[in-house]
Amino acid sequence: MDWTALLTFALALFVGAGTPGPGIAAIVARVLGRGTQGAIAFTAGVAIGDVVWLTLAVLGVAALAHTFSGVFLAIKYAGAAYLLYLAWKMWHAPAATPAAPMAAAPREKSWRLFLGGLSVTMGNPKVVVFYFALLPNLLDLQRVTALGYLEIVGVTLTVLALVFGSYIALAARARRLLSSARAVRGLNRATGTVMAGAAIVIATR
């Protein structure tokens, strides 16, 4: 791939991924409510979802995606349902401060977190618009070779790692500033509300 084309794509993706949306809301709300435990697995699922949509765009299967719209609709609602589930858990989470965490807090399975993040991206309308509407204007998808595809995937994962990692670090820092159970309870409910809002956005667009 021409380096200028890759750079243009990287900049567009950086802006698109960095703009708050359902995916970013899910990542930030999760870190604020539960800390960094499981953040990598969840965020990896979100990023791989981008790669899936990128692959579909490169293969030129937008029409196929339209044909199987029922499948993608089911995935969209699954992502929304997962966010609502997370919202409910955060709303009812124990008000334990970072300085005195709950010793018996259950550790979530990485594969479940990964699939949860994947479902969020697969149902995220902002991601679909970026790869199916904007991407063809940035890259000549008709001429993408196997090596070019790998280069685009590499750029995608690098940019997303930078963007998501920054949001995780900021959210984790904000969470460490909390010192009272009342503040933690309020944050848990606020992040639960954000999660629920993200679920509504995914389900209704």
Please give the C-alpha separations between residue 74 and each of 123, 183, 199, in angstroms, as whole numbers: 9, 37, 14
pLDDT at 103: 42
Distance of alpha carbon 82 from alpha carbon 171, whole angstroms: 21
Q: 10 Å Cβ neighbour count for 195?
A: 28
Whole-number pLDDT of residue 104: 45
| Closest of 40, 42, 45 to residue 122, by C-alpha | 45
Nearest-angstrom CA–CA distance, 75 and 49 = 11
Q: Tell me the domain boundaries of the chain.
A: 3-180
- Residue-wise pLDDT for 76-90, tens only, equals 677 677 767 777 776
Q: How far is C-alpha 83 from the chain's CA centre? A: 11
Distances (CA, A) of 131 to 4, 23, 53, 55, 102: 18, 15, 6, 9, 41
How many residues are present in the chain? 205
pLDDT at 20: 77
CB-count burial class (<10 Å; 0-12, 13-18, 19+) for 87 = buried
Q: Which residues, given as ranges, of the chain have pLDDT below 70?
A: 61-73, 75-76, 79, 83, 90, 92-107, 178-189, 191-192, 194-195, 198-199, 201-203, 205
pLDDT on residue 102: 44
Residue type at 5 in one-letter notation? A
**Predicted local distance difference test score (pLDDT) of residue 166:** 93
CA distance from start to end of the chain = 33
